[in-house]
A and B are shown apart, each in its own frame.
Chain A
């Protein structure tokens, strides 16, 4: 067990959610680790759905993005749901520019929220028949004798198995792509969901993973025309979940476990660690919440490496800054900042999602972060309001107290080089009257802008 203290509580809130204000961190630090994790994971899944009922109305796509951004910035008891919705949006990446239907994007976003913490089997099924996905990866055009391989390839490569295992052994062949695509034929979009049309479904025998110990032949599919799931022995989602890698381990848990670990902790974890955090997930029948619980309870999750080896994505960067500094407002401009920083909601760059890590800090996007920092620090409008007086510790008489207060809110007090801290203090240029509005407006806001522009704020 790790020492449960403010540093670890802040780390849990930063990774499982989008950070918190100092009082919140202090509150979590006072509870036990297990009760913190339990309280974060406990809420029942939310069915909240965003605006966007008007088809092909680009205004409402912006409204949808604004609604979600605000939710991520303000949700307290359901913060993990929103963090996971963002994960699934990257994992099952779908582009509005192809789907061209706000309502369908909104429904998919609700699916991430409603099913994103439960059974991974159910989530894969819901995504397979998700209208936006059926449009995006051509599932609606995939029919008997006229197979379209687009979704069939990606469900194996990007959603469930990965292209190859850790030994570099391919997880499937081109024949498997063709066979699974046949099993996924028949979907059409009917209202708010995908349904199977009998005359479009290929009901012949298909063989998946020929020549392996988990080879399966039969009239494979996903669901019937009545929307009832195929039995596990002929259900392609179940069959994908039986896939084993060249070590003989189940492929899907390693694939998903690794990806979640990288999202929540650090890149390139050891396989032994992944096997540890997926044990309960496997035993419990692939419930995502179990996997999250194992991650957040693992000592390695609180290691130095897990606290310093990932680049915050733009949403994490902006929202954790807003939360830590207790900025307020309708936040309607947030999606535009996300866009500038390279993370346009509902428009990932490809079905592979956003490139993680240092690509987030490509120069143009890095400059957009500096711009967000300035916008946040100088927020005086209804869209975003930061109150500098609030950031000055009570009775502060020196610039170093004010600077340390800001650094502590941002949880970078330990990682900032002392020379950089001194730069922030020197920036006050001897001013110590923190009741003087000009000092508050110029120097305190200026120090916030500078602090938000430092490398350590972009790393966690």
Chain B
């Protein structure tokens, strides 16, 4: 067996125990549990990806021409078929654009999100992007999930965070997905990536079970496979993560799954995944010792609306409705189990979409878009101006706030690792944003 260049792992897309070109060199001094004024003890972070490039302009919609730029008129001119009429926006109107003064509304398919907004739980972050917007889904996703906007993909921003704060035998992150998100790719961290926690069982031969002996043999074999003295390369890395996983099976089997009084009644993939996440969070509230799982990722797909995007109803409105219903129901579940002060939800998408609609009543790949941060302590309201519709770059909205500043703020103020973002997000602008209190 050759010893394999660690770099190779990564480029195949490493998951269960991914390898990086350069280990991150900074001390573990800032433990994630270290008390910090801003956030709660044991913060929970739910990272929600809207896959395909969500059209921010039909998510946070200009309602009038107030201010220096006639945003509404420009919006209507660019989108004759997919514009959302002003008359439909009154019920989901939010605060005015903080700079331009334009009246703004969430898409009418998001009444639940508007409800949370009115309670001050939602920060709407506008004009988010990065310099040199790449219009490839896959490249732009590399940037967004990796927290770096150049060079080959070298691990996920959450994966880097886990590496810096945990040992490989900790399993503190759950990706409610079949395949792990690159956001969690890391050097040594082990992340549970599973669509349903109930799948987390070992199979048996029903006719001739011999279960205990098989289980013991499997554990013993993986102990050998995880021993660097006995094996190496890819085989060792599969052996190591398998060994960690097998050791956690009984603990995860104890989770009462499919719990979520509210999100259990919402429909769609995102709701299904949030139901798994809610089950694990609840388990950790009720059961001692807890699993300690506090970092979550899930996604909803289908935002790549090149055709028939829809205005009031249609593809994007259906998706936004799912996001709104699912997240609001999940939030209610968090309140019901009493952890709302420990939970922060952040949504992202790899890019926004072209301002002008295309020939298929859809929109092509674009640039700046919006994010939502939801939580008890977020500074609710509209943060950042919606980019001017009379100052486009190749037909796309110009960003004014780098997404890595959002991540830096989460790392510093929510995950309570002040200063860690400078190493985790190298070469990124780090100025804090005020959607989380300092």
Interface residues in chain B, defined as those with a beta carbon under 8 Å from any beta carbon in chain A? 1-2, 4-5, 7-9, 11-18, 134-139, 150-151, 175, 177-180, 191-196, 199-208, 210, 213-214, 217-218, 220-222, 224-225, 227, 230-231, 233-239, 241-242, 245, 304, 306-307, 358-360, 362, 364-365, 394
CA distance A454 to B16 in the complex (A): 16
Shortest Cβ gap from A374 to chain B (Å): 4
11 extra A-B contacts, CB within 8 A, seeds A148-B307, A453-B218 = A138-B360, A163-B138, A309-B4, A357-B13, A357-B14, A415-B231, A415-B235, A420-B230, A427-B214, A442-B208, A453-B221
Known: A148-B307, A308-B4. A358 touches B193 (CB 8 A): no
Nearest CB of B to A43, in Å: 30
Determine chain A's interface SS by DSSP, over half rule: helix
The answer to whether A367 and B235 touch across the interface, beta carbons within 8 angstroms, is: no
Contact present for A363 and B245 (CB under 8 Å)? yes
Residue of B nearest to A378 (CB): B205
Return the chain A residue nearest B237 by Cβ. A358
Given A146-B358, A148-B358, the answer on whether A441 and B221 have CB atoms closer than 8 Å is no
Residues B200 and A454 in contact, CB atoms below 8 Å apart: no
Q: Are B231 and A417 in contact (CB under 8 A)?
A: yes
Tell me whether B205 and A364 are in contact (CB under 8 A): no
Is there an interface contact between A146 and B360, defined as CB atoms closer than 8 Å? yes
Inside 8 A of A409's CB, which chain B residues have their CB?
A: none
* Residues of A344-382 whose CB lies within 8 A of B: 349-352, 355-368, 370-371, 373-375, 377-378, 380
- CB distance B205 to A427 under 8 Å? no
Q: A358, A415, A429: which has the most chain B beta carbons within 10 Å? A: A358
**Which residue in B199, B205, B225, B231 is a CB contact (below 8 Å) of A367?**
B199
Q: Is the CB of A446 within 8 A of B214?
A: yes
A267→B225 contact, CB < 8 A: no
CB within 8 Å: A-B pair count? 239
Bound state CA distance, A114 and B242, in angstroms? 40
Which residues of A158-183 are within 8 A (CB) of B? 158, 163, 168, 174, 177
Contact (Cβ within 8 A) A417 B230: yes
- How far apart sit A418 and B225, CA to CA, in the bound complex (Å)? 10
A268 B136 Cβ-Cβ under 8 A: no
In the complex, which residues of chain B have a beta carbon less than 8 angstroms from the beta carbon of A174?
A: 135, 394
Report Cα–Cα, A148/B354, bound state, in Å: 12
Q: Is the CB of B135 within 8 A of A427?
A: no
Are B360 and A141 in touch, CB under 8 angstroms?
Answer: yes
Q: A: which residues have CB within 8 A of B?
A: 138, 141-143, 145-150, 153, 157-158, 163, 168, 174, 177, 262, 266-268, 303-305, 308-311, 342, 349-352, 355-368, 370-371, 373-375, 377-378, 380, 415, 417-420, 423-424, 426-427, 429, 438, 441-443, 445-446, 449-450, 453-456, 458-459
Known contacts A358-B12, A417-B231, A423-B217; is A342 also within 8 Å of B178 by CB? yes
Q: Out of A309, A424, A459, which one reaches B8, CB within 8 Å?
A: A309
Partner of A370, one of B8, B178, B196, B203: B203
Name the distance in Å between A384's Cβ and chain B's nearest Cβ.
Answer: 13
Instruction: Choose one: B137, B205, B225, B233; the contact of A374 (CB below 8 Å).
Output: B205
Contacting residues, chain B, for A148 (C-beta < 8 A): 306-307, 358-360, 362, 364
Residue of B nearest to A427 (CB): B217
Could you say which of B7, B179, B210, B234 contacts A362, with CB atoms under 8 Å apart? B179
Chain B residues in 8 Å Cβ range of A262: 12
Inter-chain contact B16/A361, CB cutoff 8 Å: yes
Q: A138-B306, A371-B203, A445-B208 are in contact. Are A362 and B11 (CB under 8 A)?
A: no
Q: By the criterion CB–CB under 8 Å, are A362 and B15 in contact? A: yes
Closest to B174 in A: A363
- B220 x A423 contact (CB < 8 A): yes
Considering the chains assembled together, what is the distance between the CA atoms of A142 and B179 in angstroms? 32
CB–CB A364/B195 < 8 A: yes
Q: Check B194 against A342 for contact (C-beta < 8 Å).
A: no
Q: Considering residues B241, B307, B364, which has the most beta carbons from chain A within 10 angstroms of its beta carbon?
A: B364
**Complex CA–CA separation, A311 to B179 (angstroms):** 14
- Determine if A356 and B13 form an interchain contact, defined as CB atoms under 8 angstroms apart: yes
Contact A358 B18 (CB under 8 A): yes
Is the beta-carbon distance between A364 and B217 smaller than 8 angstroms?
no
Q: How far is the CB of A134 from chain B (nearest CB, A)?
A: 12
Q: Which residues of chain B are within 8 angstroms of A446 by Cβ–Cβ distance?
A: 205, 208, 210, 213-214, 217
Q: Which residues of B contact A142 (CB under 8 A)?
A: 359-360
> Complex: how many Å from CA A459 to CA B12?
13
CA distance A455 to B4 in the complex (A): 16
Decide if A450 touches B233 in the complex (CB within 8 Å): no
Q: By the criterion CB–CB under 8 Å, are B13 and A367 in contact? A: no
B255 CB, min distance to chain A CBs, angstroms: 14
The reply to whether A163 and B14 form a contact with Cβ atoms under 8 Å apart is: no
Tell me which residues across on chain B come within 8 A of A366, comparing CB atoms.
Answer: 16, 241-242, 245
Instruction: List the A side residues contacting B222 at CB < 8 Å.
Output: 455
Partner of B239, one of A143, A158, A268, A455: A455
The CA of A210 and the CA of B391, in the complex, are separated in Å by 25
How many whole Å from A320's CB to the nearest CB in chain B? 16
B224 touches A362 (CB 8 A): no
CA distance A181 to B5 in the complex (A): 40
Chain A residue contacts of B136, Cβ below 8 A: 153, 157, 163
